[in-house]
Structure formats: structure tokens, C-alpha cells
Structure 1
Amino acid sequence: MDLKRMDLNLLVAFDALMTDRSVTKAAERLNIGQSAMSSTLGRLRKLLGDPILVREGRTMVSTPLSESLVEPVRDALSRIELLFQHRGFDPATDQRTFSIIATDRTTLTFLHPLINGLHREAPNVRLQITPPSTDYATRLQRGEADVMIIPREVFAEHRRFPHAVLYQDRFVCAVDAANTEVGESITLEQFSTLPYLATDAPGAPSLAELQLDFLGVARNTHVTAGFGLANWLIRDGALITLIHERLARVIDFDNSLRLLDPPIELQPITEILVWTPRSDRDPGNRWLRDRLLQLAADQP
């Protein structure tokens, strides 16, 4: 292959095609027409002597050769980007959109101060925050996100990635402030017999519920819902629940909750910041990571 005659834009197109596994979506990602992307796919097939993507039913499936080229091509593109970012990153003037994988809870309790101050500190920087669906690790590896904030206890493979600890958050027991069934503390018997609001994460029980199951703690579960609904569902009623302390402090804007130590010892969650080796030296990514680490250090 004569590299002098090769169009490096084909690498960008290849990366888009392998990310989306769709000519239409890849064209939308690169802001070009579908016919132009189809033509580019034809050029890639001729260049590599491989179909790259083949149709199986209603989906496009990658070939073994194209799959083997995904990481090398993405690594090459990242290195090319770094060549043009040697001057560093100036948040006061540079334009960039950063993608962050984080839960709504993390956005509300941790990222909110960064969001509020961004227009002053980095007026041309935009944030795109998306929840951690089941493919969060793959999305990070593919370069679809710059960083990810996630509990270390959830992400078993975090050691394969560069990462740093941001903060810990403990679980507290929350009841309505006017709940006469509970005083300034709660016993294990009360916890097991009073009507209970079980909390869940997207598609799975929360870490609090998993710990209670592991410890064999009985609950009189009346409702199962997300953390963000706790303030509204236990208000003016007899329900009790376990909730992250940071979230409880944020959502209890009218002092309608009473926060108590749980009657059993529960391990806190440890939120970590995760990125990829190829973005480790990227000045913009480094600025974002440093800003998040400083934000964690500044928060009580």
C-alpha cells in the first residue's frame, strides 16, 4: 500500500463506520450524505480487499479483519489529533465539546458546580453528559466519551483503565421529617418492619440493596424506585429508605427529610474518574480531569 496516495480521511470514515455499524448513522456522525458515505465504504473495501461490513438480516456485522483494525485505527487517529494539540489547551479561548458518562445522581450532586461556572471559566467549552448504559466500558474504549464517572464497586474492570478516586459517599436512612414511627435513630427491627422504599439503578438493584441482601437484612418493601424519587415518595408518609448522603442533602431543599445512620454498617461507594490510555496525554482531556479532581477536593 502506497501511503503517499492514501487519503487519511478514510481512517476517520472507517472509525465512524465501525462505531455505528451503519452507513446512515456514520454519515450523520460525519455530516456528509449517505451516498458519499456509501462511496467511501466502497473505497475502503477496495483499499483493504475486505467487505468490512456485511449485512445479516437488518443489521450490519463487521468482518474479522475490520474488527482487528478498530483499535489500531483509533489509536492512530488519537495520535494524529495529539500532533495538532501540542500547543496545549486554553479553557478561556479554545472550543471543544467534552462527553462525560455519568448518572443523573452524579450530575446533580457532583458536576453541578462545574456546570454553573463553566460559562465563566471556559465559555467555549460544552459538556455532553450521558448515562452509563450497559455498554459504558465499550463506549469509553471507542472514544465516544472523554471520561466516565462511576462507582468503583460497579466497574469491576476499572484496573484496565487509567483512573483516579474522586470521593466517597455513604448511605443514610431517610424518613419523612414528621414520621412519628422513628425518632432520632432507627433500630434494626424498625428498619425491617416499617414500610420500605427499595432503590434501584438503571436495570439493576442499587448497591445499597445488594449490601442488604448480602447481610441478610429483611425489608418490608412496599415500593421500588430510583434514588431521585425518594424525596417525593417518602414525603408525608411512613416509608423509609436508604439513599446516598450527597443526594439526600441536595434533594432535601425544604428540610422535609430526617437523615439517620443505618442500623447496620454499610460500605460507602467510591466514585472514580476513568479515561483511556490514548487520551491520557491529550491537553484538553487532562484539563477536564484536573478540573474534576479539583472539584472533588473542594467539595466537603
Structure 2
Amino acid sequence: MSKRLRSIDLNLLPVLRALLAEKSVTRAASRIGLSQPATSSALARLRGHFGDALLVKNGKAMICTPFADDLLPALDAACAELERLLVFEVWSPATVRRNFVIVMTDFLMLSIAGALQTILTEQAPSVTVRFGAIGPALPGELTSGTVDMAYLGYSEVLAQGLNVEVIARHPLEGVVSSGHRFVTKPPQTYEEFAAEARMGLKIPAALVKPDLSKLSELMGSSRTQIEFSTTHLSLLPALADVTNSMAIVPQPIAFNAAKDRQMFIIKIPGIPVYYELTKYWSHRFDTDSGHVWLRAVLDDLIMTSSYA
């Protein structure tokens, strides 16, 4: 801040704006809610600061000096900008214009996209939501705010330095086609289950710790002659079906595969392994009204969806 800016009381700016607009101490005082003596005193201080009379008599009226005429447009813009910066406005989705970027697992996206479109159309016509891709840069994108929030499986890497909230927790289950050997002879041990050829996710290495967890191990591809590099969970049952292999997916997806594709669900022997649907967002958005609103909308849609 310059010495010249520090030398002026910023509270005088609205007074100056009113004086130059009204060209009357009496009307300016009424406009800003000050007494006439206080407004006259402010005018005297402003004249001293600028070294200009600002307002001069012209018969019974007052007119702006050339300096004041030049000052008024810039003063209007400065006061408007200060109001924008300093005056808190209640978030109103009906009137605000804002763009959000969300990274979300595909099966969840499919389950809520229609309902989200309806809410945006009816409640927030100038708010847009773009679904981004899962990639190795995601941790940095969430931290910087380039991506507003993510709804994915739990990742220790993503959890570092971000807000983390588990939204839902589902056991992993295998799904196979009717011709798979597990239909007639289910696996008896975890080792037998984990050794089976399976279609899995291509999880970016940057999102997984070097010592793979059991969850990451099970959800990756293994012992298949054809490998698909996909981050889409909802594709795995179909890929397993046409290749007579197995896919390991969260329970809601397994239920859908059994219902829609007549696939068979294979339980993991021993202690269940869980997929935790987790919400991630930066601390910088903790009290951001728009962010809070959208998180609440998405959480509600998820909890009432078929994948909750």
C-alpha cells in the first residue's frame, strides 16, 4: 500500500462519492446517513487531501470542479469493487454464475447425473458441473482447487493434506459368467480367490502407495491374456462376462451385474475387503458457500441412489 493511500481514511470514499453525485452537502448527508456537520467536516478533509475544492458554488447550487468530474467515474468503480470485496453476500444458487469440476467414479456418475441435471436446471441455472478424469495429477489438482472435489475409493495418497469423508462402505465381491468354474466350485480360501484371472482397474500409480493394499491388489487386473486399461468400474462385469474371467467390484455393482447380465456373485472367502466411497476436497473450500452447497447436493443424491 502506498503512503498516499495510507494517508486517507477509506471511510471517506463513500462520503466523497455521495458529495460528487448529489452536489449538495445536505443531500449527501441524507444519502449516507450522516449529520450535515459531519458531512461538511468530511468535505473539508477531502479538499485538504486532494488539494482541490471538489465542489464550488455556482449561484445557489454547487458544481463539481474539473478534477472532481474526472474523479467520479473512477470513484464509482473503486467503491463498487470495495463493496464486492468486503460485503458478504449470501450464496444464492438461483442467481450466481459458477463452474465446478468434479472427479467421480463412473458408476456413481451414472447413478446421479440425471438427478443432478434436474437440480441444476431448476435451482441453479447458471451453475455448471464438469466431470473430470482420474489421472496422476489429481492430488495436486484437488489441493490447488483446479478440481473442486472427488468421490472415489479411499486412497492414502489422496488423503494426505485434504479433507476426507467416507460416504459409503461396501464389501467387494466377484462376479463371473455362467460358464465360469467358480459357479460350480466356489473358492474356499482367499488365496484361491485372488489367484483367479480377473479384469481390473488401471489405477494411476501416483494414487497408490508402493506397498499395494489388499484392496488395490484385488481391484487390479491379474493373469489375463487380454488387459484393458480402464478406470471405469462399471465396465468390469461386462469385460469379465465376455472373457469368461472374473471382475471384483463393490457390492452394488455386483448386484446390478447379477440382475442385468445374469452373472453370478462370488463372495471373497475369509475376512471381507471393503470399498470405501470417499469424498475429497481442499481445506481452502471449507467455508466456501457454493462449495458447501454443491457438496450437500451431491451427498444427498449419492445417499438416495442405488449405490449408497
Q: TM-score range by the shorter chain?
A: 0.5 to 0.7
Residue number in structure 1 paired with 2:214? 211
> Which residue of structure 2 aligns with residue 198 of structure 1?
199
Q: Tell me the residue number matched to 1:127.
A: 129
The structure with more radius of gyration:
2
Alignment counterpart, residue 290 of structure 2, candidates 272, 284, 298 = 284
CA contact (8 A) 2:171 2:274 kept: yes
Gaps of 5+ in 2: 6-81
Choose the corresponding residue for 2:248, options 215, 218, 242. 242
1:112 shift after superposition: 5.5
Q: Which amino acid aligns with 1:128?
A: R
Partner Cα separation in structure 2 for residue 166 and residue 95 of structure 1: 28
Task: State the one-letter code of the partner of 2:227.
Answer: T
| 1:201–1:83 CA distance, 2 compared to 1 (3 A) | farther
Matches of 1:2 and 1:242, distance apart in 2:
64
* C-alpha distance after superposition, 1:125-156 (max 9, x if no partner): 2111112321212112222122222322x133
Conserved 8 A contact 1:162-1:275: yes
Alignment of 1:27-176 (within 5 A): 83=85, 86-109=88-111, 113-115=115-117, 117-152=119-154, 154-156=155-157, 158=159, 160-176=161-177
SS in 1 for 2:91: coil
1:41-94 C-alpha deviation (Å, 9 max, x unpaired): xxxxxxxxxxxxxxxxxxxxxxxxxxxxxxxxxxxxxxx999478322222333
* Counterpart code for 1:243: V
Counterpart Cα distance in 2 of 1:104 and 1:4: 56
- Of residues 130-139 and 240-249 in structure 1, the stretch that sits farther from structure 2 once superposed is 240-249
Q: Does the 8 Å contact 1:151/1:271 carry over to 2?
A: yes
Q: What is the SS of the residue equivalent to 2:140?
A: helix
For the 8 Å contact 2:215–2:275, the answer to whether it is kept is no
User: What is the percent sequence identity of the aligned residues?
Assistant: 19
- Asked if the contact 1:170/1:269 (under 8 Å) is kept, the reply is yes
How far has the Cα of 1:192 moved from its partner?
5.9
Superposed CA RMSD = 3.7
Bigger strand fraction: 1
Query: Matches of 2:122 and 2:185 in 1, distance apart?
Result: 44
How far, CA to CA, are the matches of 2:83 and 2:226 in structure 1? 50
Q: Secondary structure at the match of 2:264?
A: strand
Deviation at 1:110, TM superposition (A): 5.4
Q: Counterpart of 2:273 in structure 1: which amino acid?
A: Q
The residue aligned with 1:179 is 179
Structure 1 residue 251: Cα displacement: 5.9
Structure 1: runs of 5 or more not aligned? 6-79
Aligned-partner SS, 1:201: coil
Show the counterpart of 1:25. none
Matched letter for residue 118 of structure 1: L
Q: Is the CA contact 2:258–2:265 (under 8 Å) kept in the aligned structure 1?
A: no
**Conserved in 2, the CA contact under 8 Å of 1:197 and 1:224?**
no
Summarize deviations over 1:89-110 as a string: whole Å, max 9, x none: 2223332211112333442355
Q: From the superposition, tell whether residues 2 and 198 of structure 1 become closer, same or farther in structure 2 (CA, over 3 Å).
A: same
Deviation of 1:199 after TM superposition, in Å, equals 0.7
Aligned equivalents of 1:140 and 1:129: distance in 2? 13
